[in-house]
Amino acid sequence: MPTTSGANLVANPSGQEGITGWTDTAGTLNAQTYRGKPDIGWNVPVTEPNQVRAHTYPAVTDGHSYRFSVELAGSGQVFMDVYNGRHDVHSPAINLRSSYQTLTWVAAIPSDAPTGQSKSAPQLQVQEIGIGPVAVHIKDATVQLASTPSGYA
């Protein structure tokens, strides 16, 4: 697993190390180059019976709020989903296009959220909306501290 650096808590934000740190529930993930820079490609060639996602587990700490952000390009319709360990927080859905669009959302991680890098731990997700195939380029995924609970520095 790549390590995080600086304020960004996503281990592999733009696919420089392949797809390490990212997984999906359907389709294929692969390392790509788009517009001359590395990114992560996620392709779901058919309509799935349920919404599917590509996701990563940021190194967040329970009891804090974070700004989640990701840049997306490609074709189809998707949204960013922040799973905070208890429930989903969705951005509005967008129609992908050839140029990158940035989705950003602030979400709080509950003080008793599951921890770690698997299962029900907090996740930054890119989800298709369930109406057709998607071909997504993912880059510059970031999760940064937005606030600390009272009494923390």
User: How far apart (Å, rounded) are the C-alpha atoms in residues 58 and 72?
Assistant: 18
Q: Which domains does the chain have, with CATH numbers?
A: 22-147 (2.60.120.260)
User: How far apart (Å, rounded) are the C-alpha atoms in residues 4 and 145?
Assistant: 13
User: How far apart (Å, rounded) are the C-alpha atoms in residues 107 and 28?
Assistant: 28
Percent of the chain with pLDDT over 90: 81
Reported confidence tier of residue 148, pLDDT bands at 50, 70, 90: low
Question: What's the one-letter identity of residue 65?
Answer: S
Q: Give the other-Cβ count within 10 Å of 5's Cβ.
A: 9
Average pLDDT, the chain: 91
Classify residue 89 as exposed, middle or buried by CB count within 10 Å of its CB (0-12, 13-18, 19+): middle
pLDDT in tens, 114-138: 988 888 999 999 999 888 899 999 9
Q: pLDDT value at position 49?
A: 82
Q: Can you say whether the dihedral through the CA atoms of 23, 80, 48, 138 is positive or negative?
A: negative
Q: pLDDT value at position 85?
A: 94
- pTM for this model (two decimals): 0.91
